[in-house]
Amino acid sequence: MAHIHLEDGSFSLFWVIVWWTAAIILVGISLYLLRSEKKTDSRKITIAAFCTAAAFAIFQVSIPVFGGVHITLTPLIGILAGPVIGSLVVLIINILSAAIGHGGWGMIGANTLVNIVEVAVAYATWRLLKPFIPDLFSRAGIATVAGLLSGNIAMILIIVISGVQGVNQGTAQILTGLSLLAAVNMGVAVIEAFVTGLIVTYIGKVRPDLLLGERP
Amino acid sequence: MTALPGKKGLLIFLLLLALVIIVSLAAYRMTGQMGIEGRFSHAVGLESGEEAGEEGGGWFGLSLEGNPVFYGIVLGALAVLCYASYRHFSVCNDPPGSAKKGSDT
């Protein structure tokens, strides 16, 4: 998963405001799109609630792989809820996480952006691969890896663009360090891909109408 | 556009995972054993007291981030919200493929 594990004060106030503003704009667009729908499928609201609870619960658990990594379930959110509702879900998860002391308040904007990228790319991959890979497990797994890889790239870009206050390393050194970190982070993508694949396959068997684009 | 036969999709998925595992293991060998916070601080060049990693704490190496009491409270509230949504929108009574019966928002 991709999550900026830096404390408040690591980014300058300017960049905190920039990332918060960008996140608010994206979430605002999502809200506008939701409000412009004549009828919102009630199942989407329920799925969003389940996704929020499940992702929040698992997001706080550090899994003892490669010294400790997190699962976020953001690709699953993208597959089940789509990018519009998914962007609201990840904002809520980041706010709740900060409220219990996981991540700084100033980082919520940047982390929400990173998670929105994961949700959107996973959703897009899931939909685009449908004509080629009908198998739900494989398609969900590939979408998960694509989403998490994109999230890690977004995380690196945000940190490199912002810079980190109080460090003497140059951009090239930070980029190298973050690239290695992202590569280690991707180790959990293997676990998350299997988890997401199994959940999507199960839902596809018992309630295919709950899967976006798979509804009969 | 032709769909790949079922096994080919799985094969692509497994090859992708194998590639990810190889890259991750290589990066892990280069960076060494660290916890999440320590790995992050090390990557950007921040001083960190947490270099030893997070393994060893919690249950079977699994540990919680943040305050466990607040975690329980928030998770409990979310569980109640899920149950309320589930009942309110009648998702449980919605047979597969049928039109929704619950109220719309």
pLDDT in tens, A162-188: 988 888 888 888 899 999 989 988 888
Contact yes or no for B70 and A99 at CB 8 A: yes
Q: Which pTM does this prediction carry?
A: 0.87
Give tens-digit pLDDT for A21-40.
Answer: 999 999 999 999 998 887 77
Task: Average the pLDDT over A74-89 and give the result.
Answer: 95
Residue closest to A110 by CA, chosen among A154, A170, A45: A154
Contact A78, A118 (CB under 8 A): yes
**Does the model's ipTM exceed the 0.85 cut?**
no
Q: What is the pLDDT of residue B44?
A: 84
Share of chain A above pLDDT 70, in %: 97
The CATH class for the domain spanning A13-210 reads mainly alpha
Q: Which residue has the tokens 């198998």?
A: A135
Structural Rg of chain A based on CA atoms: 17
Report pLDDT for A78.
Answer: 95
Cα maximum dimension of chain B: 57
Residues of B within 8 A of A209 (CB-CB) are 94, 96-98
The confidence score (pLDDT) of residue B57 equals 56
Q: Is B5 on the interface with A (CB under 8 A)?
A: no
Q: Is residue A140 within 8 Å of residue A79, measured between CB atoms?
A: yes
A1 to chain B, closest Cα gap in Å: 11
Mean pLDDT value across residues A118-124: 97
B52 in reach of chain A (CB within 8 A): no
What values do phi and psi take at A63, rounded to 5?
-90, 130
Any B CB within 8 A of A190 CB? yes
The predicted-structure confidence for B8-20, as pLDDT tens digits, reads as follows 889 999 999 999 9
Distance CA A48, CA A76 (A): 11
Across chain B, what does the average pLDDT equal? 76
Q: Given an 8 Å threshold on Cβ–Cβ distance, is B96 in contact with A216?
A: yes
pLDDT at site A8: 87
Interface contact flag, A62 B81, Cβ < 8 Å? no
Q: What pLDDT was estimated at residue B105?
A: 38
